[in-house]
């Protein structure tokens, strides 16, 4: 129902405001950016709610912090359009680990032994890496990963 939706939205805004009060002294940004568009929309809404309150003390601090977070969202969006090389699906922790070993020249067997997993598992991870990087060979994957900053140059 409409009123339940409004209540949920108000509760979300109150919780976000509490989170900002706690996060502001530390200056956290990434934790909010990682939540994406939903968080950005909530911040916009919270900012207009805060604008209706007296411009003093905590209200002023939280409104300014929300503004900085929204600026970070805008900056992040600009950075994303400048770097079309961002992966649609990021590599998992394990895939990065395997890619690093591939870059060091290890064979599938050596990687399997080092990570105590089956060779077939290594091959599955490598195929997933190829898919995510849009490559078909080990050397291509390593070069592409370096270009994307996933591996040290």
pTM beyond 0.75, yes or no: no
Q: Does 55 lie in the same domain as 125?
A: no
Structural domain span for residue 137: 93-147
Q: Per the structure block, which two tokens stand in for 33?
A: 């950016």
48 and 12 within one domain: yes
| Model confidence pLDDT, tens digit, residues 41-74 | 999 999 989 889 888 889 899 999 998 898 888 8
Question: Residue 2, exposed/middle/buried by CB under 10 A (0-12, 13-18, 19+)?
Answer: exposed
Check whether residue 99 and residue 50 sit in a common domain: no
- CATH number of residue 100's parent domain: 1.10.10.10
Q: What is the 3-state secondary structure (H, E, C) of the chain?
A: CHHHHHHHHHHHHHHHHHHHHHHHHHCCCHHHHCCCHHHHHHHHHHHHHHHCCCCCHHHHHHHHHHHHHHHHHHHHHHHHHHCCCCCCCCCCHHHHHHHHHHHCCCCHHHHHHHHCCCHHHHHHHHHHHHHHHCCCCHHHHHHHHHHCCCCCC
Same domain? 103 vs 60:
no
Say yes or no: 9 and 70 in one domain.
yes
Nearest to 42 by CA among 77, 69, 64, 81: 69
At residue 109, does pLDDT exceed 70? Answer: yes
Region 80-99 average pLDDT: 73
In this structure, of 2-16, 54-68, 84-98, the range with the lowest mean pLDDT score is 84-98
pLDDT of amino acid 12: 92
What's the pLDDT score for residue 92?
87
The residues, ordered by sequence, that sit 6+ positions from 71 with a Cβ below 8 Å of its Cβ are: none
Regarding whether 141 and 101 lie in a shared domain, the answer is: yes
- Arithmetic mean of pLDDT over the chain: 87
What average pLDDT score do residues 100-127 get? 96
pLDDT at residue number 78 = 55
Mark whether 9 and 41 lie in a shared domain. Answer: yes
pLDDT of residue 83: 43
55, 82, 109 - which closes a domain: 82
What local confidence, expressed as pLDDT, does residue 137 receive? 93
What is the reported pLDDT for 13?
94
66 and 136 part of one domain = no
Distances (CA, A) of 69 to 33, 96, 126: 8, 30, 37
Total number of domains constituting the chain: 2
Query: Has residue 61 been placed in a domain?
Result: yes
């Amino acid at each position: 129902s409409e009123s339940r939706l409004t209540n949920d939205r108000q509760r979300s805004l109150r919780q976000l405001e509490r989170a900002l009060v706690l996060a502001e002294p530390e200056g956290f940004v990434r934790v909010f950016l990682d939540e994406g568009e939903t968080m950005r929309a909530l911040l916009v809404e919270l900012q207009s709610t805060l604008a209706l309150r007296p411009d003093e003390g905590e209200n002023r601090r939280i409104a300014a912090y929300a503004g900085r977070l929204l600026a970070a969202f805008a900056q992040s969006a600009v950075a994303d359009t400048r770097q079309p090389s961002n992966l649609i699906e990021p590599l998992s922790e394990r895939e990065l680990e395997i890619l690093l070993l591939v870059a060091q020249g290890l064979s599938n067997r050596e990687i399997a032994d080092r990570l105590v997993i089956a060779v077939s598992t290594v091959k599955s991870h490598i195929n997933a890496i190829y898919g995510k990087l849009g490559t078909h060979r080990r050397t291509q994957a390593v070069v592409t990963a370096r270009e994307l900053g996933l591996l040290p140059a």
